[in-house]
Structure 1
């Protein structure tokens, strides 16, 4: 838009004349002014071209929406629709007043800023201490903690049964080993040749010692039945 047109006294009536909002007297006066003002004639011609582009783009958009074949217009240039619309918008902004262009630019920036804040999950807090601004772009996802099960893995009865089975198995294994040692000792004594009285008297303490040790182990194993069980201790701890 030319800056000289802003100093013309009829500039404010140009848009009203274009849209037919002037009275008959005002319209006649403005048309007489157009004969003498080349700047207003140029501005009016630019606005008329813009309106022609917009009408052409709107007509073709409506035809495409209803599926009708396109009707070629002699006044419209042979260009794609999006180029015609872009040219019309460019012409419109070029002929618009400065305040309208500034307002449009500010509105576009505000919309872009709001969209960026929405994508970034921004959070704005105003308190007595000031303004706090935080975004969630680099926010780490909360760590997934494995919830501990409130139910025990084994019940008290199952624990007592497992402990009793382990103790019984260990006792049976120890008893088998003692019996095996006693049997091996007897077989060894029977397989040995009859010693002389002097040798028999010398080997007797050793044999008696091994037999006594086996008997003591068997007695100790039998006493384990009277000892407190591990299951009893566990039950006392759990209580």
Structure 2
């Protein structure tokens, strides 16, 4: 049996990571982060995640553009980009593309006249590398982690049973053509609120974090099971304010 704690879209929200840590015990074989850690407070984020006393496996997302690609966040932290990591008889490997790696940025700079063509060429090259890596292992025992949901996987990554991703900020668990795609949800999901019956004054905006994450278990008998878990804050006494977010808003304690 292997157990994984998986999340995505932290967005520099260290408080959300602390909330996650307070909710979960040291009961996992690995913590998985499917990108959007945030470029402002990554050391604090990884300090907290390392306290689970298991490997922390991650890929970068669009919020991580300013992070150094080879930055060392600690001996137990491993970037999965085209680099497999084995746990409990499973292999986890990742992909970080679309402006999140130096080769991509260099290819766009060299082909400014036709960025679309450069994007397609780089994508094809990265996908070919990923396919080669997975084919050399046991695809049926591989988990692929990315920030964006991968497409056409039945063609270029046949046999892979589970794909983890984020970016869309909601939980999804969909099986398509025999492959399972799980959006591990956004740990940072700020919901603007105001006190019921009160008019919001300038500078008085507040928010509650309705973040979520997933717990993934694997056994030879049952295969993969996925359990979504939410912070599920108490909205009693508060009115949701949909469609806006003020960066100056403070979190409800």
TM-score range, shorter chain: under 0.3
Higher helix proportion, which one? 1
Give the structure-2-normalised TM-score: 0.19
Higher relative contact order (CA 8 A, sep 6+): 2
TM-score norm. by structure 1 comes to 0.19
Q: Name the one with the larger strand percent.
A: 2
